[in-house]
Amino acid sequence: MHAIATIGLSHAFAAESVLRDVNLAVPAGSIYGFLGPNGAGKTTTLRLVLGLLRRQRGTIEVLGRELDTDRLEILRRIGSSIESPSLYGHLTAVENLEVWRRVFRCSRRRIGEVLEFVGLAGTGSKRTEQFSLGMRQRLSIAVALLHEPALLILDEPANGLDPQGMLEMRALLNVLNREHGITVLVSSHILSEIERLVTHVGIIHRGTIRFQGTLASLMTRQEESSVTRLHTSDDARAVEIARQYGIHGRIEGERVILPALDEHEAGRLTTSLAANGLAVSEIVTVRRDLESVFLELIGEA
């Protein structure tokens, strides 16, 4: 089952198309990283999923229901924070949550529970305008959790956070997902911020999905694009010898390009090349990071 599923979702502002046939598939129980540069279409997609924009073309299902048919019922089961936290700076954390508690019509006990959960139970009479950015982000999540949602949607929650703040945010979202069973969708424009958090990834650029799948499948793509570079006294012969070991390479310029070899494989191949009379002047494995794969997928590598 998918917590969110869109088919052919397209949207335009005036004459400008911002989404084109977006097929989003967020598995229930996952932490889904929705990634793309600023202006790629992330926030527009999330606003459509939340019913904040009128759907123009395509279908949207959330938690197994069609958004157009069961919008109010769906929204009762979603917690969200889009763009900046909706907080009153002159109020305390408790007072802010009391405003939203009345909107959600939930028990007063939930205020203490969610403040404890996000680590803000001891803020007392401190006004929200005095909070650090990380504290405001956590209070925004507390608001989103008041009504015990099944799905949490966060747009750029790590924006402006220092490394410690990002670490705390990741820990909080992991607990929500693993211990409370909440599906989490997190949008970001930088893969490195959330690659340690997510289980699934969707990459959007210029309104189209460029990649969607598990984080493991993205890492496999990273591994497949990593290479071992080899230079010998006879590169053509080196390619033939490598093929005998099931390693298929090619010559590019003055180098042999092979799939990424581990230390054992590289040592065995080098020994074989030397035994066949070839001098090896270079052998180096170049491993690409996920950030470079991300940039390649959006055409900026």
* Separation between Cα atoms, residue 45 and residue 23, nearest integer Å: 10
pLDDT per residue as tens digits for the range 135-167:
888 899 999 999 999 999 998 887 777 888 888
Q: Backbone phi, then psi, for 66, in 5-degree steps?
A: -75, 130
Residue 134 in tokens: 């990380």
299 class by beta-carbon count within 10 Å (0-12 exposed, 13-18 middle, 19+ buried): exposed
**How much is the average pLDDT of 124-142?**
90
> Residue 180 is encoded by which pair of tokens?
């409370």
Q: What is the token pair recorded at 228? A: 């071992």
Torsions phi, psi for 84 (to 5 deg):
-100, 150
Listed by start position, the domains of the chain span 2-220, 226-289
pTM, 2 dp: 0.82
Structural class in CATH, domain 226-289: alpha beta
- Residue keyed to tokens 């598995």: 27
Residue 141 CA to residue 121 CA, distance in Å, equals 14
- What pLDDT, in 10s, does the model give residues 203-252? 999 999 999 999 999 888 877 778 899 999 999 999 999 999 899 999 99
pLDDT of residue 85: 62
Residue-wise pLDDT tens digits, 74-105: 999 999 988 666 789 999 999 999 999 998 89
User: What's domain 2-220's superfamily in CATH?
Assistant: P-loop containing nucleotide triphosphate hydrolases (3.40.50.300)
What is the pairing mode between strands 183-188 and 31-35? parallel
Report how far apart, in Å, the C-alpha atoms of 194 and of each of 23, 146, 173, 259 are: 22, 24, 11, 27
